[in-house]
Structure 1
Amino acid sequence: MNRAAVRAAIHVASIFAIYLSAAMLIPAAVDLYYGNDDWKVFGFSAMFMGGLAMSVALATQGNPPPATTRFGFLLVNLLWLTMGLAGTVPFLASSLDMSLADAVFESVSGITTTGSTVINGLDTAPPGILMWRSLLSFMGGLGVIALGLFLLPFLNIGGISYFKIESSDIEDRPFERFQTFTVSLISIYTALVVACAICYTAAGMEGFHAINHAMATVATGGFSTHDTSFLRYADNPAVLWTGTIFMFIGGLPFSIMILFAIRGRFEALRDPQIKVYAGYCVAFALAIAIYLRIKAGVPFFEALTQSAFNFTSVITTAGFASQDYTAWGPLAVVCIFVAMFLGGCSGSTTGGIKAYRFLVVFELLANGLRRLIYPNTVLPVRYGERTVPDDMQRAIVLFISSFFILWAAITVLLGATGLDFITAVTGALTSLTNVGPGLGPIIGPVGNFSSVPDAAKWICAAAMLLGRLEILAVLVVFTPTFWGR
């Protein structure tokens, strides 16, 4: 990695920071509208961050380096790190009196669409701050989709690219219509947020809260404008089903939606990961609804509403909660714990391990068992009708291995900060999978991360970035080979 590449990556990251500083004017306008003095905070933050980013951009401008794999890895890491740190400024300057650890945690949680929070008193917080949290989720969700569809697949470490499911005349020249794809992606994503906000409003949610929750729902970001999250709407089935449907849509591959918009390709629905994703969402929701009906005597429709909302929220890594599901009984808690690993589809706004990886791993397992009986048999690993390339197989095995090793290491680190076993285990897991809440009385669905030590917040923030960038994209930057010639 040469200096020119590092300089170019810093230049691109600073350009994105300028865009982020411009976005700070939106919550400033919201505070002005509601007569809150915190508009000055966002005005100052926009000028400070914009000026700093502009200075860095001017100082690092020059000829772009060749588009190499190393440059791609460096750029991805710098972009997410820059966005997370730049988003911290309004929190630090706000009237909430947040520490540096709290501000970084909240910003990184938003931009990675994790949804964990350290803020108490959300119901009385300045409206601009609430809007800024939602905007971070909105921008983070859009960035996550672009990352999963366009970049990570070409770095051979994640996802199924839009271009790899397109027709053969596009595959060999994937960026020829990149502008069309990008416009379609932004249009579809924004249209879903608008539709979600309209549905929330029609279901009885106040306009400001509907807009904020819509951004966090489609982005599967989990930031709420209430301390109690969706417990406030627990008696409103229309709100909960709206959230369930749009969270589920957020977990679908946006490549499919792009294909609908550009080509009208309905056959893309045959993507195997969609069936797996929909299958485990329905299975968990129905199983726990029946369990609640039998064990607690809850009316079935109510049980299904609560189960579908909360399990879809956990599976899609949105992190909303309409009830304290840890009080549903041991089976429900175990199922929630398992659901925290799953995630949605490749190229969606979700975190977690994701459905396509489970498909490939189970295929590898099945082939391995067959070879025990027929050692000389050649058995290709298939994803639907296509053979999975060796490099994708290696990437998936590397990802899952790294995931569990890092989960264990982060759990130990959190335990060293003084957290109890359940908080450390689920805190590490929810950070790596970008779910939001963990389990237990501290960081469970009715708690938050405000009371955990600052050291634990820094560890969790790092884990959120690791999980959002599919782990390998971060780990490779810390290898000597990456920086060697």
Structure 2
Amino acid sequence: MHGSIVRAAAYVASIFSLYIAGVMLIPAAVDLYYGHSDWQIFAVCSVTTGAIALTVAAATRDRTPVRSTRLAFLLVVVLWVTLGVIAALPLYAALDITFAGAVFESISAITTTGSTVLSGLDELPPGLLLWRSLLNGIGGLGVVVLGLFFLPFLNVGSFSYFQIESSDIEERPFDRLASFLRALVAIYLVLVVLCAVSYALAGMSTFDAINHSMTTIATGGFSTHDASFGYFDSKPILWVSIVFMILGALPFSILILFVVRGRLDALRDPQIRLFLTYTAVIVLAVAIHRRVVNEIPFGDALTSSAFNLVSIITTTGYSSEDYTLWEPFAVVMVFFATFLGGCSGSTSGAIKAYRFFVLGRMLQNGLRTLIYGRSVQPLRYGTRIIDEEMQRSVVLFMIAFFAVWVAGSIALAAGNLDILTAITATLTALTNVGPGLGPIVGPAGNFSTLNDYALWILSASMLLGRLEILAVLVLLTPTFWRN
């Protein structure tokens, strides 16, 4: 049984690898066009990856496919690990970094974290810059599919698409799923195109606009410049980014119901209201505080606060300046904003608004019970009742989140990192935000000075965070591997 599951996972991963091998030809063509010899690296990696993938696919193909919950758990992890390793190959071959550094960079890209071990981005060949952005874009789309289909049915994520739609699915569910996937990809690509056009109209070059549009909608945070958005020094560009970062952090299932079916009621989703509320409150609080304390013009304070805090809350990871040099109140708000995240079914990471909503309802219900004794009140998410399974899933996630954060911080500290770097590097990896706090992993630094030991731990933390922790931890339990 277990052999057939592993075989099935290997087969799907090999087919997926063939597509990635094909995508490598895009940066190869770009470098060839611009006359950079790195096109040969991408071409060789593409051919090698494709050949290995074809061999594995032929060896593992089975005409009697296996379908089980175990396979789904294993497949999710295998696909993301496979993509992380394959995507690292061109980076390792083209750059003067260790294999641990290359894997860290690629996993940071596909998990839309945005942390980097690279410096001198402004001088890198365009093919390598485009490869990083493509990985961000592919990862962002994969995150949405993961959050809407795989994890909810494994009782790890939030409401599935069909639960959100509150519709009957007994008639041709796979046809409807296929149409939904087509709409999802179409809306994702339309947002990328609109974002690129908006960036270009605001003053970005065409190449920068294309790259940043992919990393913005994916809330991935990779930039083509070491200074990130500080390079552009443009308020219109910052506000374009703010708008599209927020759109990327909204649930795509709701966007589809609104755009394709014209359902205005879908926009009343409780997690959207909560996400927009705490984003607005935090941005305004920091902007007003900076205006009062530092006497910065309110327009400037609002722009810089909105851009950098929306970037953190949506787990994008862009920066326009070193916000760790702001007053302590703002830095504390940045730290707590790292936990928040956007909505479920979006490209953002962290804890996410729907979990805070469920926890708030559970707390409210618990307080009612203290007052009225044994009275039982149903917990509601909009018009739907939050069942015990969903409540248990949220509580388990929160326990696992803080346990992994503590374990990761201790592991980094054991590698002689200072407490601020250890704590915030683990946190930003687990929440897929990107920059941490302090001179090493803060917005003015990067992860290049960390040793391979720390980079492997952080790579694992990024995968844990992106796969909602429980989907990975379940593979480590003896029960999973018992017949």
**Aligned length in residues:** 483
Distance 2:64 2:152 in 1: 22
Q: Take 1:441 and 1:64, find their aligned partners in 2: how far apart are those partners?
A: 54
The code of the aligned residue for 2:259 comes to: A
TM-score by length of 2: 0.98
1:286 aligns with 2:284: yes
Cross-structure match for 1:388: 386
The match for 2:263 is 265
* Shift, 1:34, TM fit: 1.2
Aligned-partner SS, 1:342: coil
Query: What residue in structure 1 maps to residue 407 of structure 2?
Result: 409
1:29 alignment partner in structure 2: 29
Q: 1:255 is matched with which residue?
A: 253
Alignment partners' CA distance in 2, 1:87 and 1:484: 33
Alignment of 1:357-436 (within 5 A): 357-436=355-434
User: Is 2:143 the counterpart of 1:141?
Assistant: no
Which residue does 1:457 correspond to in 2? Answer: 455
> Partner of 1:298 in structure 2?
296
Measure, in 2, the Cα distance between the counterparts of 1:432 and 1:471.
9
- 2:318 partner SS: coil
Residue pair 1:184, 1:261 contacting (<8 A) in 2 also: no
* 1:135-174 paired onto structure 2 within 5 Å: 135-170=134-169, 174=173
CA contact under 8 A between 1:431 and 1:467: conserved in structure 2? yes
Tell me, yes or no, if structure 1 residue 125 matches structure 2 residue 99.
no
Contact 1:114 1:317 in 2 (8 A): yes
Structure 1 position 331, deviation (Å): 0.3
Conserved? CA contact 2:258–2:267, under 8 Å = no
Q: Deviations over 1:425-477 (max 9, x none)?
A: 00000000000000000000111000011100000000000000000000001
Conserved? CA contact 1:8–1:64, under 8 Å: no
Q: In 1, Cα distance between the equivalents of 2:172 and 2:295?
A: 58
Q: What are the within-5 Å matches in structure 2 for residues 18-417 of structure 1?
A: 18-94=18-94, 96-170=95-169, 174-233=173-232, 235-417=233-415
Give the corresponding residue for 2:464.
Answer: 466
Partner Cα separation in structure 2 for residue 373 and residue 264 of structure 1: 43
Range with greater deviation from structure 2 (388-397 or 463-472): 388-397
Asked if the contact 1:411/1:428 (under 8 Å) is kept, the reply is yes
Match of 1:470, SS?
A: coil
Tell me what 2:4 maps to: 4
Contact kept, 8 Å, 2:341 with 2:353, in 1: the verdict is yes
1:397–1:111 CA distance, 2 compared to 1 (3 A): same
CA RMSD of aligned residues (A): 1.1
Compute the TM-score of the two structures, normalised by the length of structure 1. 0.98
The percent identity for this pair of structures is 58
Secondary structure in structure 2 of the residue aligned to 1:53: helix
2:370 alignment partner AA: L
Distance 1:355 1:171, change over 3 A: farther
**C-alpha contact 1:5 1:64 (8 A) present in aligned 2:** no
Alpha-carbon distance in structure 2 between the residues aligned to 1:242 and 1:160: 30
Gaps of 5+ in 2: none
Conserved 8 A contact 2:4-2:66: no
Q: Counterparts of 2:47 and 2:423 in 1: how far apart (Å)?
A: 41
Q: Deviations over 1:213-263 (max 9, x none)?
A: 110000000100001111112x31100000000000000000011112332
For residue 171 of structure 1, report the CA deviation from its aligned partner.
Answer: 6.8
